[in-house]
Amino acid sequence: MMVKLKAQGHRVLLYSQFQHMLDLLEDYCSHKRWSYERIDGKVGGAERQIRIDRFNAKNSSRFCFLLSTRAGGLGINLATADTVIIYDSDWNPHADLQAMARAHRLGQTNKVMIYRLITRGTIEERMMQMTKKKMVLEHLVVGRLKAQNINQEELDDIIRYGSKELFADENDEAGKSRQIHYDEAAIDRLLDRDQIDPEETTVDDEEDESFLKAFKIRRA
């Protein structure tokens, strides 16, 4: 994805919760010789603004901005980017929504694509399903997410999720049907912005509907 986005002239905000993962992503960007910026919890306020200004500068050569979800997800304008990738989802869905909204700021003139990476048949997928369910309930009943705590039953359910697939035979028919293969054509479809309804590309910090829009899934 990143190689194609670079070739197409897009600019990317890449979010992760973990500094170690940001280190790995930074190594990858360095290996590809891509110009990038990075903000995490260790970056002070003055240096943080310098990096933001450098990324947003006219004719900036920076292709990618690596950000920790919490440190780089609130109170900054990165509307010069048109692609957001959530590399790993936060336990608090509001943190991810704030991260997505960094590219949907005043001055944004391009379609913004948001990709959330989730590994099928894992704890991560189950966690996202439960988060989506709770956000729907919040949208319908509460209006605001009051509690982020997960009880023991829910935690056990998350841990057990995907255990059958972990030990399943990938060569049987059921196993083959579960496999996901992304070829060049599938990735091209995933990156095709012409197929996206403009109304679905808006993420608003203040609208509750952004909760549900942020969890729509588009399959390649």
Structural domains of the chain, ranges and CATH numbers in brackets:
2-119+183-213 (3.40.50.300), 123-178 (no CATH)
Residue 155 has pLDDT above 80, yes or no: no
For residue 207, pLDDT beyond 50 = no
Q: Is the pLDDT at 185 greater than 60, yes or no?
A: yes
pLDDT of residue 188: 78
The whole-chain average pLDDT of the chain stands at: 75
CA distance 220 to 183: 10
How confident is the model at residue 203, as a pLDDT? Answer: 45
Residue 8 has pLDDT above 70, yes or no: yes
pLDDT per residue as tens digits for the range 188-206: 787 877 766 555 444 444 4
DSSP 94: H
Supply the pLDDT for residue 169: 53
Calpha distance 218→205 (Å, rounded): 22
pLDDT at 158: 56
pLDDT at residue 53 in the model: 93
In terms of average pLDDT, the best of 17-26, 76-85, 148-157, 161-170 is 17-26
